[in-house]
Amino acid sequence: MHGHGADYKDLVVFLAAAGVIVPLVNRLKISPVLGFLAAGVVLGPDGLARFSGALPWLSWITIREPGQLAQLSELGVAFLLFMIGLELSWERLRAMRRLVFGLGMMQVLACSVVLAGGFMLMGQSLAGAAVLGMGLALSSTAVVMPVLAERGRLKGTVGRSTFAILLAQDLSVAPILITVTVLAALAQQGGGLDLDPAVLGRALFTLAPAAIGLGLLILLGRVVLRPMFRSVAKARKVDQGGELFVAASLLVVVGAGLAAQASGLSMSIGALVAGVLLAETEFRREVEISIEPFKGLLLGVFFVGVGLGLDLDAVAANPWGVIGLAAAITVVKTGVIFILARLWGLAARPALETALVLAPAGEFAFVVFATGLVEGVAPSALTSTVALSATLSIFSIPFLAMLGQRLTRRPRLEAAAMPDEIELPQQADGAVVIVGFGRVGRLIGEMLKVHDQAFIAVDADPGIVAAGRRDGYDVFYGDAGRAEMLLRCGVQTTRALVVTMDAPGKVDEVVRTARQLRDDLILIARARDDQHAARLYALGVTDAVPETTEASLQLAENTLVDLGVPMGLVLASIHERRDQFRQVFQAAVSDQRRDRPMRAFRVSQNRTRTRLE
């Protein structure tokens, strides 16, 4: 194949796989992760591509050069870590420190030691066994997190403990690579345990750029991110959509990843730090929505890449050895992680599910193996077999997740013996959501705070959002007329949604979207007048407050009383007019909601009765 079109052929094949194979496996109720993995195997050099010599047309529907997708694959993992970071904050990280730096780091250490011991029993040297053990001790963040998300397991004990361990593993990649360098220095000295301090110092000194780079990344992020997104929010016009936020979000992910790589860290760590920094800002929800489609597609590239890396010929040459080694790795890690999780307070079944999803190898294993080969401390023949077994074990993650969930099907076991660090409720769970935080929305928020009712607010004006956050309120920037934004704000768990905006069309849009997402939601909306209120009741609001109508009635009441009209006659006429409006609203309510009591003007009625008394 020649010409410029051939340069994009593999990318077109991947997009075709994403558009055809994944929807097909979804229809068959199979994990999309498995769909991408299978697509990589079938469309790769060891799949249909091997027959392209006899059938030249196959070259147009297969991937011959996996390297073309490698950079996109790395971006997919970075986007995943960025999204994970958006769900965190420095406070949550501090609260999880016992799990991350206790359970997580102990898992890396214990699995490395046990696996290295197994390879030494197989006749490997200390240095070679250590490299293989450390590589296999790591799990696959890129596969485990999406699989748990598909099965709805991220918010419970299993999801949080799994994430804590994966975070510790990601943080340990740089120290592991430094350790490989030290082991190489030991091997060069004949395998002795006495290491030249100068050699050790040079190895450890390579950590300095990583530490400096991480510090600069955090500092720049705190200084630059909020002003940058605030500027984007102000510049974005209503009819432009979210392309400016998409561009800014892509810049943050890629820029932070490249900065981390330049300082010796992984691209994923840079993206994670950027996500954590953005989680502290009011633009967190809008960024999540902007990034979500790219994350899913680029992760698909990663999964296809894993499938492409499966050498079927090597598996066929030694099937029992490769499969047996993959099973042994999984069993050993399951046992070690289960024991550690129990020691850290998890109940037996959540601990087992956590161990099962983390038992297979991860994508960073190949980075460690490659470094070990370059340093000359990893035996090439065995390392290739171990890498093949690691790839097979990654394929088993969706099946192990399904097995683990079946073992923990009873929900009451999920909460048993849950450590305090894991019980970190999502910010919007059960909280009232206020859409629009101007004068009306802020007053509602203040009254909710007086009565100890938790709430978060959403507003599309960056100035209002910034002012609200300065005053200590949880206000986020975003368009609440989008279903994605309401879902990010917790519409499925909120006790009530209050729409306070003064733009009738936008109020209608938010009400319509919210009601489609949740039929039983308490939905209270600000209406312009009685006609707008009737339209909102037709859309399904629980209560609508027509501001001009109520203000007019109140002004009329005060005017008549001040003119000397008897109070009783005034109140009777006001009540009569309210009844007329109430009948109009009742007529606008759909048949399915006719049995709900009408509560329009109830506050004003109570105030009127108080004045009469």
Position 199 scores a pLDDT of 56
Q: Which residue has the tokens 């209406």?
A: 527
Q: Which residue has the tokens 């949740």?
A: 518
SS3 177: helix
Q: How confident is the model at residue 113 (pLDDT cuts 50, 70, 90)?
A: very high
Residues 286-332 pLDDT 10s: 787 777 777 667 667 777 777 776 777 777 788 888 899 999 999 99
Position 583 scores a pLDDT of 66
Which of 441, 366, 409, 307 is CA-nearest to residue 138? 366
Which of 438, 515, 522, 437 is CA-nearest to residue 483? 515
Q: How confident is the model at residue 413 (pLDDT cuts 50, 70, 90)?
A: very low
Task: State both tokens at 409.
Answer: 């099907």
Residues 503-529 pLDDT 10s: 888 888 899 888 888 888 889 888 887
DSSP string, 362-386: -THHHHHHHHHHHHT-S-HHHHHHH
Position 340 scores a pLDDT of 92
SS3 31: coil
| Maximum mean pLDDT: which of 98-112, 226-240, 424-438, 526-540 | 98-112
Task: State both tokens at 578.
Answer: 């309210």
Q: Could you say which DSSP state residue 104 is in?
A: I
Q: Which residue has the tokens 């509602």?
A: 444
Task: State both tokens at 425.
Answer: 């409720």
Residues 461 and 121: their CA atoms lie apart, in Å, by 64
* Mean pLDDT, residues 235-264 taken together: 75
What b/e readout covers 223-242, taking b as 16+ CB neighbours within 10 angstroms? eebbeebbebbeebeeeeeb
* Mean pLDDT, residues 397-404 taken together: 86
Q: Which residue has the tokens 């450890």?
A: 204
* Mean pLDDT, residues 353-358 taken together: 91
SS3 195: coil
Give CA angle at 529 (524, 533), nearest 5°.
40
**C-alpha dihedral sign at 466, 470, 473, 474:** positive
What b/e readout covers 50-85, taking b as 16+ CB neighbours within 10 angstroms? eebeeeeebbebbbbebeebeebbbbbbbbbbbbbb
Instruction: Provide the Cα torsion 188, 189, 193, 197; round to 10°.
Output: -100
Q: Could you say which DSSP state residue 339 is in?
A: H
Contact partners, residue 440, CB within 8 Å, separation at least 6: 500, 502, 526
Position 188 scores a pLDDT of 60
Question: 540 or 422, which is more confident?
Answer: 540
Task: State both tokens at 146.
Answer: 């999406």
Position 419 scores a pLDDT of 40
Check if the beta carbon of residue 237 is closer than 8 Å to that of residue 49.
no
Beta-ladder partners of 544: 525
Specify the range with the lowest mean pLDDT, choosing from 200-204, 255-259, 332-336, 420-424: 420-424
Position 115 scores a pLDDT of 93
Check if the beta carbon of residue 500 is closer than 8 Å to that of residue 440.
yes
Residues 239 and 237: their CA atoms lie apart, in Å, by 6
Q: Which residue has the tokens 């296809």?
A: 304
Q: What are phi and psi of 266, to 5 degrees?
A: -80, 155
Which of 427, 377, 449 is CA-nearest to residue 177? 377
Q: What are phi and psi of 585, to 5 degrees?
A: -65, -40
Which conformational region is residue 478 in: left (phi greater than 0), alpha (psi within -120 to 50 degrees), or beta? Answer: left
Q: Check whether 387 has a pLDDT greater than 80.
A: yes
Please count the other Cβ atoms lying within 10 Å of the Cβ belonging to residue 205: 10
Q: Check whether 116 has a pLDDT greater than 50.
A: yes
Q: Check whether 420 has a pLDDT greater than 50.
A: no
Check if the beta carbon of residue 476 is closer than 8 Å to that of residue 494.
no
Residues 75 and 96: their CA atoms lie apart, in Å, by 27
Task: State both tokens at 533.
Answer: 């209120």
**Side chain identity, residue 469:** R
Position 295 scores a pLDDT of 67
Sheet with 455-459, edge to edge strand ranges: 475-477, 455-459, 432-435, 497-499, 523-527, 543-546
**C-alpha dihedral sign at 457, 152, 167, 407:** positive
Residues 89-111 pLDDT 10s: 666 667 777 888 888 899 999 99
Please count the other Cβ atoms lying within 10 Å of the Cβ belonging to residue 469: 19
* H-only helix segments in 423-529: 439-450, 462-470, 483-488, 504-517
Residues 42 and 45: their CA atoms lie apart, in Å, by 8
* Mean pLDDT, residues 192-201 taken together: 55
Beta-ladder partners of 546: 527
* Mean pLDDT, residues 362-391 taken together: 79
